[in-house]
């Protein structure tokens, strides 16, 4: 709505404070400019629904408090369910109740206890705002804050709800597990840990024939997700031993992590003719004779090698843990 050129009474700011309901800046009009004919005079932009009915306002407060009480109880229930071990269906219902109660309470507060009357204003001059306009904006914001400040009961209720709801929201973070960069650098392999099959049977070097492949685990820890290892017998094939890994193989027996360094899938398809391991997920291919370096596919890092030894009883053991992180390469980035 644009200002018209018709002559209208002008506001003289020197005569005193203009009443809030007749302040031209509230309606986009510069004091001293003609009042636009399409902007009604006497509009009340500070009116709220129960302004003239204290009892109704009090009832509105209680309704809002009831909604937030639901949020408070649901938040306490969420915390208890998480501590008790968690149950996804119950958690979903409680989250829905907590969020619904919080949202409905805010909607009712805005509808019943805050200024909400529609008014018609001018478009203004679209110029850089001067200090008067900036003060007017601050005054407009205060008209919304002041009615809220008159409701200390609701503020106290909101503080309790916010505390309980915020606490309940922290519990799911604990279920995300430990920080990746602290535990993905280590597995359950270590000095003199026996290599065992899935059923817990220890392995001697003679148990695996040439071109054989076997998934092995650290003794007593079959369920550890980071430790599955491929034990292979390349026989007399020209296995390239890196200088820093001399003594890590037992003859033709070598061991590499089973976890693909691309996306963590099991790289367990072994081509005995080419001595290559293939990951079935994205076809990353690793050359076993060349330190299990990737020769095809998206993997960019070699499979980590496990140092092998034989204990006093003739069983295969690990000399130490892997000397580099297992699994996808991005875990190794800073």
Residue 258 has pLDDT above 70, yes or no: yes
Task: Give residue-wise pLDDT tens across range 33-80.
Answer: 787 778 888 777 777 888 888 899 899 999 999 999 999 999 999 888
Q: Inform me whether the pLDDT recorded for 7 exceeds 50.
A: no
* Cβ 196 vs Cβ 188: under 8 Å: no
Q: Residues near 59 by Cβ (< 8 Å), separated by ≥ 6?
A: none
pLDDT of residue 39: 81
Identify which has the larger pLDDT, 24 or 6. Answer: 24
**Is the predicted pLDDT of residue 282 greater than 80, yes or no?**
yes
Which ranges in the chain are annotated with CATH 2.102.10.10? 193-332
Strand partners, 303: none
* pLDDT of res. 45: 74
Q: Please state, in angstroms and rounded to a whole number, the distance separating the CA atoms of residues 37 and 4.
A: 7
Residue 218, phi then psi, degrees to nearest 5: -65, 140
User: Which DSSP category does 11 fall into?
Assistant: P
Q: Tokens 């800046």 appear where?
A: 25
| C-alpha dist (Å) from residue 132 to 1, 120, 139, 145, 190 | 21, 20, 10, 20, 74
How does residue 17 score in pLDDT terms, banded at 50, 70 and 90? very low
- Number of alpha helices (DSSP H) and beta strands (DSSP E) in the chain: 5, 10
Phi, psi of 305 (to 5 degrees): -100, 140
135 falls in which pLDDT band (50, 70, 90)? confident
In sequence order, which residues have a C-beta less than 8 Å from that of residue 216 and are 6 or more positions away? 195, 196, 197, 203, 228, 229, 230, 231, 255, 316
Q: Give the largest Cα separation in the chain, rounded.
A: 109
Average pLDDT rounded to a whole number, residues 164-171: 78
Instruction: For the chain, give the mean pLDDT.
Output: 81
**Span 125-149, mean pLDDT?**
64
Residues 110 and 160: their CA atoms lie apart, in Å, by 20
More confident residue, 124 or 318: 318
Residues 193-332: name the CATH superfamily: Rieske [2Fe-2S] iron-sulphur domain (2.102.10.10)
Is the pLDDT score of 3 beyond 50? no
Please check the confidence at residue 132 and state whether its pLDDT lies above 90.
Answer: no
Q: Which residue has the tokens 């069983």?
A: 315
pLDDT at position 129: 64
pLDDT class of 178 with cuts at 50, 70, 90: low
Choose between 220 and 2: higher pLDDT. Answer: 220
Residue 153 has pLDDT above 90, yes or no: no
**Spatial contact of 278 and 271, defined as CB atoms under 8 Å apart:** yes
Residue 291 or 45, more confident: 291
């Amino acid at each position: 709505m644009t200002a018209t050129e018709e002559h209208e009474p002008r506001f003289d700011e020197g005569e005193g404070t203009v009443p809030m309901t007749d302040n031209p800046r509230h309606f986009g009009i510069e004091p001293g400019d003609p009042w636009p004919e399409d902007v009604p005079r006497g509009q009340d932009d500070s009116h709220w629904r129960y302004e003239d009915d204290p009892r109704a306002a009090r009832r509105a407060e209680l309704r809002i408090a009831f909604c937030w009480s639901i949020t408070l109880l649901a938040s306490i229930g969420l915390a208890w369910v998480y501590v008790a071990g968690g149950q996804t269906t119950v958690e979903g219902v409680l989250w829905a109740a907590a969020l619904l109660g919080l949202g409905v309470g805010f909607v009712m507060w805005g509808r019943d206890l805050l200024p909400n009357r529609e008014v018609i204003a001018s478009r203004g001059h679209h110029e850089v705002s001067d200090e008067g306009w900036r003060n007017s904006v601050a005054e407009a914001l205060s008209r919304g804050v002041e009615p809220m400040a008159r409701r200390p009961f609701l503020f106290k209720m909101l503080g309790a709800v916010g505390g309980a709801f915020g606490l309940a929201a922290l519990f799911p973070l604990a279920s995300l597990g430990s920080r990746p960069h602290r535990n993905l650098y280590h597995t359950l392999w270590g000095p003199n840990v026996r290599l065992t099959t899935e059923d817990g049977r220890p392995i001697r070097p003679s148990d695996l024939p040439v071109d054989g492949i076997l998934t092995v685990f650290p003794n007593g820890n079959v369920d550890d997700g980071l430790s599955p290892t491929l034990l292979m017998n390349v026989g007399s094939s020209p296995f390239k031993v890196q200088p820093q890994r001399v003594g890590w193989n037992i003859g033709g027996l070598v061991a590499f992590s089973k976890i693909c360094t691309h996306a963590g899938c099991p790289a367990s398809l072994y081509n005995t003719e080419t001595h290559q391991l293939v990951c079935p997920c994205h076809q990353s291919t690793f050359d076993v004779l060349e330190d299990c370096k990737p020769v095809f596919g998206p993997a960019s890092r070699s499979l980590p090698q496990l140092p092998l030894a034989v204990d006093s009883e003739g069983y295969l053991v690990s000399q130490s843990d892997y000397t580099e992180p297992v699994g996808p390469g991005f875990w190794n980035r800073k």
